[in-house]
Every structure is written in structure tokens, then in C-alpha cells.
Amino acid sequence: MPNMPRVTGEVAYLALIFGLLVVPRAIQRFLIPAPLTSFGLGLVAALFIPAFTHDPTLELLSTLGISSLFLVAGLEVDLHSLRKGLWVVLGHLLVRSCTLVLASWIGMRWLGVGQQVAVLLALALLTPSTGFILESLSRLGLTGDERFWVTVKAIGGEILALLVLFGVLQSGSIGQLVEASGELLAMIVLLPLLFWLLGRWVMPYAPESGFSMLVMVGLIAAYLTKQLGVYYLVGAFLAGFTARLLRERIPELAPAENLRAVRLFAGFFIPFYFFHGGMSVPGGALVWQSLLLGAAVTAVVLPLRIASVWLQRRVISREDNPTALKVATALTPTLIFTLVLATILHDQFGIPDSWYGALLVYAALNTILPSLLIAKPFDLDVAGDTEAAAGAAGNGSRPGPPAGVQAPPA
């Protein structure tokens, strides 16, 4: 009898792991993205096991999921590929910046919110979730060139969003911004040194330790930026990006097998992030007002986002209508960024519960759209079976087309 609570807890965790790894993937046959199922399971669990919401083990698993996912996103960045499409990507980022400014102005003017809240709302509505998009590319039936442009635009947009996110969250005062910028700069300087020390004094004497070193540094960096008030994703992304830049000097750090291993690691833990996110939804967000407001925002914002990218592809790249539309549609999911920013807005800035719920509805609708329109269901298996999403980390090729497929000139 004394051991019964512990045994019961173990069984509960085993049931949770089984449910999150099996059920969402089984339901994908009905074109429902796995993260949405995990999130929905969290909502259901919150109704029947409310005490589980603040479980420290679940919070840790959730942190491992979001941190490892953005570590993968940083590892996916290929500067060679970005240079290949530099002018197209710069034009895309210019349009994205203008839409962010316009959306922020509308938020301040029509919603009567402050500048910080307005910009964060704009980011939540307009920023594609790069990690999620790259994970889904192999399931969307895109050609090599289409995957290339989706990849470089998603990565470019994510880098811009992370910079804006950092600036906004630290813009409370000039002193705070300067101090946080100095601390972030110190991290950027020290991360290569830390990787170099590990590559010099640890990895040569511990074969196949590159994966564990990479994950460890990613988690430390994520924790440090969380302490800066800019959430885990900035530090994890920086760690992955730094490791990618150093892979020629430290080959053991980020070869193709390590990138695949990190994807597998993220693929195991990211469902816990969505499940925990579902359990953390306040009861006031589950109202009809949230559903109606979220549907209205989707009906206005989503067509404008698709039309913006479609027009860029038609005018700049001279693509035909179907190709431009597929690229634009593949860039619509904002699930992870919207969920992260909705949490920040609710917890730090106190937005109404109905707004929080509306953002979740918007994220769910735009996330499921590509799986309905393009052809194939999403998969949260970040191990992937295509080099397009992998960024071809082992051979230095760009992250879009598979072997033998050339991307169009910029």
C-alpha cells in the first residue's frame, strides 16, 4: 500500500506517453495535424485531472519539447541557401515588416492597446512556425523548388520575428533594452567559445557525444533567455544556429546524424508542449465569443497573408498560379508562434481570456488549412524522411530541393 501512489503515478505517466505518441498520429489519417490533437487532449485532461496542470514533470517535458524544436530550427538555417535566394528573401522580409507595422498600428488604433501588446498580437497573427512547417514539408507533396522557397522564407521570417520579439519584450525602458541586449550579445559571443571548449576537451575523448553536448547547450541557452524575459525559443534557436555555423570547425557537433538525432529528440518531447499548452488554457477562453472572434480574425487575416505571398511569387519569381498558391498556403501555419505569444500576452500583459481563445482558434484553423488544401496530412515526426526539411546538414547543400534538383535563381 505505501507504494501505491508512486505506482499509480508511473502508470499515469506511461499512459500519457503512450497516448501522446500514438493517438495524435493515428488521428492524422483524418487530416488533423498531430499537434492539434495533442493540444485537444490537454484540454480534455484539464477538465478531468486539473491538478495535473501544474505537475513539474509535465512542465519539464514541455520545456524540453519547445527548446529542442527551436534548437532544430536553428540547425536548419543554411546561410548558403539564404544567399542563393537573398533578394527574394529580402523582398519577402520587407513586405513582412510592412505588414507587421500596419497590423501593429491597427491594433493600437482600433483595439486601444499599447505598442508592446499590438506588436506581439501582430507577430502572433503573421509569423509562420518554421519548425512545424519544416516538419510537415515531406507530407505536403511539394516539388523541390517549392520546398526550397518555403524553407528559406520561413527561416527568414522566423529570424525577423525573433529579433522583433526580443526588442518588444525588452522595450519597457532604454536601460532594460541596453542591459538585455548586452547580455544577449555576451551569450552570442560565449556560445561559440563553449562549443569550441567542448569540441576540444570533451568530444574527442567521448565518441558520439556531439548530440548530448548539442542538446545540453541548447537547453542552457534556452533557460538563460527565459531568464531575460524572452522565452526559451530565442536561446535554443541561437544555440542551434551557432552550432550550424561551427560545423566545419567542429565536425563532430552538427553532422547529419546529429541533426537527425535532435529531430528525433524533439519529436518525442514536442507533443508534451502542446499537451501542456492545452491544459493551461484558462476556462474563460473556452467560450463562444472566442470561437466567433477567432473565426472572424481568420476570415480576414488568412486570405490577406496568402494573397501577399502569392503576389510576391507571381510578380518577383514569375511563378504560375498553382505553384505560387502552394508556396503561400504552406507558409500559413502559425501554431507554435501563436501559442507561445498568446501565453506571453495572457500571462505578462493580461489580455482578455476571450482574446487568448481567439488566437488559439486562429492558430488551429490556419494550421489545418495546408493539410486540407494541398493534399497530405501533417506529421509531427521530426525525424523526417526528406533532405529538403533537413537542410542537408551532412553535405552542405541547401535545405530545399532533394539531390539533383536545382533551386531557381534569385
User: What pLDDT, on the 0 to 100 scale, is given for residue 80?
Assistant: 79
Nearest one of 176, 131, 187, 121 to 154, comparing CA atoms: 131
* DSSP assigned state of 139: G
The mean-pLDDT minimum among 10-14, 222-226, 346-350 falls in 10-14
Residue 129 makes CB contacts below 8 A (sequence gap 6+) with 333, 334, 335, 336, 337, 338
pLDDT band at 178 (very low <50, low <70, confident <90, very high): confident
Domain annotation for the chain: domains and CATH numbers = 4-282+379-390 (1.20.1530.20)
Confidence band for 317, pLDDT divided at 50, 70 and 90 = low
Average pLDDT of every residue of the chain = 82
Q: What is the pLDDT of residues 364-382, one digit of tens each?
A: 999 988 877 765 444 444 4
Q: Which three cell numbers stand for residue 239?
A: 544555440
Burial of residue 91 (number of CB atoms within 10 Å: 0-12, 13-18, 19+): middle
What pLDDT score does 112 carry?
A: 87
- Residue 250: DSSP 8-state: S
Bigger pLDDT: 377 vs 350: 350
pLDDT range class, residue 8, cuts 50, 70, 90? low
The pLDDT of residue 378 is 40
pLDDT tens-digit series, residues 59-94 = 899 999 999 988 988 888 877 777 777 787 888 888
| CA gap 211, 32 in Å, rounded | 32
More confident residue, 374 or 181: 181
**Nine cell digits for residue 362:** 486562429
Q: Is the dihedral of CA 165, 168, 172, 175 positive or negative?
A: positive
Lowest-confidence pick of 47-51, 296-300, 365-369, 373-377 = 373-377
For residues 353 and 50, what is the distance between their CA atoms, to the nearest angstrom?
18
Is 86 exposed, middle or buried, given 0-12, 13-18 or 19+ CB atoms closer than 10 A? middle
| Residue 313 in grid coordinates | 511569387
Q: Which residue has the cell 560545423?
A: 247
Burial 132-171 (b: 16+ CB within 10 A, else e): bbbbbbbbbebebbbbbbbbbbbbbbbbbbbebbbebbbe
> Around 256, how many Cα atoms within 13 Å sit in the side-chain half-sphere?
15
| Higher pLDDT pick, 5 / 63 | 63
- Give the span between the Cα atoms of 36 and 40, in whole angstroms: 6
List, as one string, the DSSP characters of 182-206.
HHHHHHHHHHHHHHHHHHHHTGGGS
pLDDT at 99 over 90: yes
Do the Cβ atoms of 120 and 56 come closer than 8 Å? no
CA distance 229 to 223: 10
Q: In 268-297, which positions are buried (b, 16+ CB within 10 angstroms) versus exposed (e)?
A: bbbbbbbbbbbbbbeeebbeeebeebbeeb
Q: State the average pLDDT over residues 4-18.
A: 71
DSSP helix, strand, coil percent of the chain (3-state; round to 5): 75, 0, 25
- Residue in the structure block whose three cell numbers are 548539442: 214
**Cα separation, 265 vs 259, whole angstroms:** 10
- pLDDT for residue 409 is more than 50: no
Low-confidence winner among 94-98, 183-187, 284-288, 394-398 (lowest mean pLDDT): 394-398
Higher pLDDT, 193 or 3: 193
In angstroms, rounded to a whole number, what is the distance separating the alpha carbons of residues 354 and 126? 19
CA gap 124, 343 in Å, rounded: 10
* Position 394 pLDDT exceeds 70: no
Q: What is the largest CA-CA distance in the chain?
A: 72
Contact 101, 119 (CB under 8 A): no
pLDDT of 230 reads 73
Q: pLDDT tens across 318-335, in order?
A: 777 778 888 888 889 998
- Residue 2 confidence (pLDDT): 46
> Are the beta carbons of 370 and 329 closer than 8 angstroms?
yes
Q: Please, which pLDDT band fits residue 396 given cuts at 50, 70 and 90?
A: very low
For residue 378, the 8-state DSSP code is -
Condensed to tens digits (0 to 9), the pLDDT of residues 220-238 reads 999 998 888 777 888 999 9
Write the CA distances from 268 to 22, 69, 238, 339, 380, integer angstroms.
Answer: 11, 10, 21, 19, 9
Residue 403, pLDDT > 80, answer no
